[in-house]
């Protein structure tokens, strides 16, 4: 059975004190209210990874980074490698978020290298894919997303790709208040899974968790998570509010 996952992407938000308050609230709520086999992940800014991890202690909540370098080490001022994440005991990292693609020019070849670096360090990549509005309106969104998956993941072995979590994020629904309908989400998740099955076989494709991201909120999470191929969510703004984020986790 595929793992159910809800990951909160804090992006570049919160002071350290605010991050610790939010973490404390979430720890209590998740322990008291969340039942069932769901992995909850907090993807914090780099400076907060160790403080939040230490604060979580034996909590079931995990911590993740929002990016990693394509290099292991060297003269790359400001970068953080997957080797460093491993040394800190960070089990997850987001790779290829649309904001990284848009603002920092990250392409499929670069992201393939980042995925390799994460896997080599036993850090689970949460690989993001998704289309901007103009591609959706042209009707070529399926082709683009399949291309993104191919470019960055299809070099992997069948064993390795099963260690990757995929997050489908329609770029036009990130931070806009717009959300793909549950049918739109299901349709694209099914396309991704079928595309993986075409390369690796149905058994492998059925083992990979595919998350939906794009203005996931407490009031739409249950409908989205009820879709057959939606295995959870990568949550942006709503993850900064403890009550709303916990309600999303409970929805799964």
Mean pLDDT of the chain: 96
Kindly tell me if the per-residue pLDDT of 178 is higher than 80. Answer: no
Secondary structure in 3-state letters for 127-167: EEECCCHHHHHHCCHHHHHHHHHHHHHCCCCHHHHCCCEEE
- The pLDDT value recorded for residue 234 is 97
- The pLDDT value recorded for residue 175 is 72
Q: What is the mean pLDDT of residues 221-247?
A: 97
**CA atoms of 237 and 214, how far apart (whole Å):** 10
- The pLDDT value recorded for residue 152 is 98
- The pLDDT value recorded for residue 93 is 99
Q: Which carries the bigger pLDDT value, residue 42 or residue 133?
A: 42
Q: Which carries the bigger pLDDT value, residue 137 or residue 202?
A: 202
Q: What is the mean pLDDT of residues 203-212?
A: 98
Q: E strands within the chain? A: 4-9, 38-43, 62-65, 92-95, 124-129, 165-168, 210-212, 232-235
Q: What is the mean pLDDT of residues 129-152?
A: 95
Instruction: Identify the active-site residue in 70, 106, 169, 244.
Output: 169
Tens-digit pLDDT profile for residues 50-66: 999 999 999 999 999 99
Does the annotation mark 25 as catalytic?
Answer: no
Strand partners, 172: none
**CA atoms of 245 and 251, how far apart (whole Å):** 10
Could you tell me which of 145, 151, 149 has the C-alpha nearest to residue 205? 149
- The pLDDT value recorded for residue 168 is 97
Residue with tokens 């920092």: 104
Kindly tell me if the per-residue pLDDT of 179 is higher than 90. Answer: no
Tens-digit pLDDT profile for residues 146-159: 999 999 999 999 99
Does the annotation mark 169 as catalytic?
Answer: yes
The reported pTM is 0.97
- The pLDDT value recorded for residue 48 is 98
Q: How confident is the model at residue 161 (pLDDT cuts 50, 70, 90)?
A: very high
Kindly tell me if the per-residue pLDDT of 176 is higher than 90. Answer: no
Domains of the chain are 4-251 (3.20.20.70)
Could you tell me which of 249, 174, 188 has the C-alpha nearest to residue 218? 249
Instruction: Identify the active-site residue in 97, 141, 189, 195.
Output: 97
Please give the structure tokens belonging to residue 249.
């986790």
């Amino acid at each position: 059975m595929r793992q159910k996952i809800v990951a909160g992407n804090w992006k570049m938000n919160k002071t350290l004190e605010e991050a610790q308050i939010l973490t404390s609230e979430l720890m209590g709520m998740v322990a008291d209210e969340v039942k069932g086999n769901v992995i909850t992940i907090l993807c914090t800014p780099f400076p907060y990874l160790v403080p939040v991890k230490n604060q979580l202690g034996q909590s079931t909540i995990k911590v993740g980074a929002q990016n990693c370098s394509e290099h292991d080490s060297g003269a790359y001022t400001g970068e953080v490698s997957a080797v460093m994440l491993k040394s800190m005991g960070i089990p997850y990292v987001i790779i290829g978020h649309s904001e990284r693609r848009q603002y920092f020019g990250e392409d499929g070849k670069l992201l393939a290298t980042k995925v390799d670096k994460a896997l080599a360090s036993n850090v689970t990549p949460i690989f993001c894919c998704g289309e901007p509005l103009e591609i959706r309106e042209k009707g070529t969104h399926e082709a683009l997303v399949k291309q993104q998956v191919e470019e960055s993941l299809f070099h992997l072995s069948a064993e390795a790709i099963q260690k990757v979590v995929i997050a489908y994020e329609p770029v036009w629904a990130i931070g806009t208040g717009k959300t793909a309908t549950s049918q739109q989400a299901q349709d694209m998740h099914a396309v991704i899974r079928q595309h993986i099955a075409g390369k690796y076989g149905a058994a492998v494709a059925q083992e990979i968790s595919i998350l939906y991201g794009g203005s996931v909120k407490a009031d739409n999470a249950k409908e989205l998570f009820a879709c057959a191929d939606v295995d959870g969510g990568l949550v942006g703004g709503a993850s900064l509010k403890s009550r709303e984020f916990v309600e999303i986790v409970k929805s799964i």
